[in-house]
Amino acid sequence: MTDATKSEHTTPSHFIRHLIDQDLASGKHDGRVQTRFPPEPNGFLHIGHAKSICLNFGLAEQYSGACNLRFDDTNPEKESQEFINAIQADVNWLGFSWSGDVRYTSAYFQQIFDFALQLIRSGKAYVCSLTPEQAREYRGTLTEPGRNSPYRDRSIEDNLDLFLRMQKGEFADGSHSLRAKIDMASPNINMRDPVIYRIRNVHHHQTGDTWKVYPMYDYAHCISDALEHVTHSLCTLEFEDHRPLYDWILNNLSLDSLSAAASELGNLDSDVRYVLPQQTEFARLNINYNVMSKRKLKELVELGLVTGWDDPRMPTLSGLRRRGYTPASIRKFCDIIGMSRSESVVDVAMLEHCIREDLDENAARAMCVLRPLKVTITNFDKAAPELLQLPRHPKKEIGNREMNFGRELYIDRTDFEEVPPPGYKRLSLGEEVRLRGAYVIRCEEVIRNATGDIVELRCSMDTATLGQNPVGRKVKGVIHWVPSDTALTAEIRIYDRLFVDANPDDKALGDFKNSLNPDSLQVLTGCLVEPSLGSAQPEECFQFEREGYFCADRFDSRPGALVFNRTVSLRDSWTK
């Protein structure tokens, strides 16, 4: 991140910063702040992940610490290299860089396996041969304690032998598992002898066919944190009940062996004291009119209900990017939603507010006519069109754009009413309107085709009104326009919210897909944009005056074939 954006950080403090301040004051980690962002590469990142990214990378920046990017890749069947690449691109796009190389939990599979052997040798883990159904039955419920597995008292030798043979591929998936020996009567179900390894005879995207057993997330995660010598392991609230297990595992492994392994991996300098990581939870980000579960987002992609993970309607970072959201607007949003320990739902209007504010300040202005209607200026009497200069931004000095004003131009169909409703400020027969940055015109005649559709307006211009009001009368309305000779055609994609219900996850609505907004995308072709947009670069953002904020599509727009996506309307049209 640049110094300029860093110095803008006046974020209010929150409980996690207070915790770090306390740890720094007490010397708990000898002044170190080491965080990590641990996505599972089983989908694209969404705006919820941005909260975690801004938190973890942001804290590392603020405390001159370090943040790792670690792929928590313990479920090979659901993961892929495509997701790994997309996640890295998204983190970079948000403006963050991870410390050192990208890490993978799978790179620690040997250590994680060796630690399982250690637990077996110390009598803290056993191989269980209950079927998955039996194991579920033995686990008990929230109100009833579980029962000990009949395999719980297997000898250490038998456990070692079986576990090594599980890894050799001698057994079928699900026939045995390795479980931590904790307490089947614990009120916390996570502590009832949780499975820490399962047999999966599958290929892994990083480790190939080396492994036949794969560690469970809860077991692998705390060890990975310990191996990376993480100080603050920040995760979402649903892991609160898993924290006792996180601590149990690390406390039941030898501290010396953990620190030796961290040091062997280059994560512990000889002059640094080894301290176990501490897990702290915060509330997930939920946003109304959105779904935030990867499973549901994946379903939309796989059913073709959106064009892909980066469809501009998706709450994924790559979708928001393609929609025209800027990294700064997303970081700002993550700043202002704050950090708390109770679940809440953030209004999507807040996210939209952040991008409007950013683009109002930074996007160049331009004119785009979505539904062109020809206007002929009957009294335009110059031999050649007049070249007008319009500012690219009303407040910032970022130069001018040039527009031809000549005998023919286009305005938007919706800016003309033959019989105007009361209070109408646009163009109507016999009335005047100002063309933005140009002259006041009056509509004198309406031309129709054989079927009665309006195809042209004949107007007169008041030549004394360039940049000044007409003498003796008030013209209230201002409309946008483009010159007919130099305007460029463009495809405009008008995006709206993907869901019409504030909470698509609400069970009362049935399937979340019932809430999809049928009008979330409207494609307009044959739109006309002012000539300065001919050089619009992919992802460049504009305010199309009176229409909204738009960006040139990252993938589909190029000179000669312009495509603009509507990022957001000028004002919130959803609040009633």
* Residues of the shown chain interacting with ligand ATP in the complex, contacts defined by CB under 6 A: 38-40, 48-49, 51-52, 235-236, 284-285, 292-295
According to DSSP, the residues that pair with 494 across neighbouring strands are 522
Dist. CA 547–CA 177, nearest whole Å: 60
Q: Which residues are catalytic?
A: 40, 284, 294
Inter-axis angle of helices 348-362 and 327-337, nearest 10: 140
Taken as a whole, the chain contains a residue count of 576
Least distance to ligand ATP, CB of residue 185, Å:
29
Inter-axis angle of helices 217-227 and 243-251, nearest 10: 60
Which of 501, 477, 491, 512 lies closest to 561 in space, CA to CA?
491
Closer to ligand ATP by Cβ: residue 105 or 532:
105
Report the residue number whose CB is nearest to ligand ATP. Answer: 48
Residue 555's identity, in one-letter code, is F
258 phi and psi angles, rounded to 5 deg: -65, -45
Q: Could you tell me the two tokens for 342?
A: 């109770």
Residue 60 — left, alpha, or beta (φ > 0 → left; ψ -120 to 50 → alpha)?
Answer: alpha
Q: Are 301 and 326 in contact (CB under 8 A)?
A: no
Closer to ligand ATP by Cβ: residue 90 or 352:
90
What are the C-alpha distances in Å from 369 to residues 36, 268, 511? 47, 61, 39
Q: State the burial class of residue 12 (Cβ atoms within 10 Å of its Cβ: 0-12, 13-18, 19+).
A: exposed
The alpha-helical segments, DSSP class H, found in 8-66 are 15-26, 47-62
Residues 6+ apart with CB under 8 A from 304: none
Three-state SS sequence of 203-256: CECCCECCCCEEECHHHHHHHHHHHCCCCEEEEEHHHHHHHHHHHHHHHCCCHH
Closer to ligand ATP by Cβ: residue 284 or 458:
284
Least distance to ligand ATP, CB of residue 424, Å:
45
Dist. CA 413–CA 372, nearest whole Å: 6
Dist. CA 209–CA 521, nearest whole Å: 44
380 phi and psi angles, rounded to 5 deg: -70, 115
What are the C-alpha distances in Å from 214 to residues 57, 169, 265, 544? 29, 12, 21, 53
Least distance to ligand ATP, CB of residue 275, Å:
21
480 phi and psi angles, rounded to 5 deg: -95, 165
Q: Are 454 and 416 in contact (CB under 8 A)?
A: yes
Which of 493, 476, 466, 470 lies closest to 557 in space, CA to CA?
493
Closer to ligand ATP by Cβ: residue 129 or 503:
503
Closer to ligand ATP by Cβ: residue 51 or 493:
51
Least distance to ligand ATP, CB of residue 79, Å:
10
According to DSSP, the residues that pair with 568 across neighbouring strands are 549
Least distance to ligand ATP, CB of residue 373, Å:
45
By three-state DSSP, how is residue 473 classified?
A: coil
Closer to ligand ATP by Cβ: residue 285 or 529:
285
Closer to ligand ATP by Cβ: residue 35 or 532:
35
Least distance to ligand ATP, CB of residue 267, Å:
19
According to DSSP, the residues that pair with 195 across neighbouring strands are 179
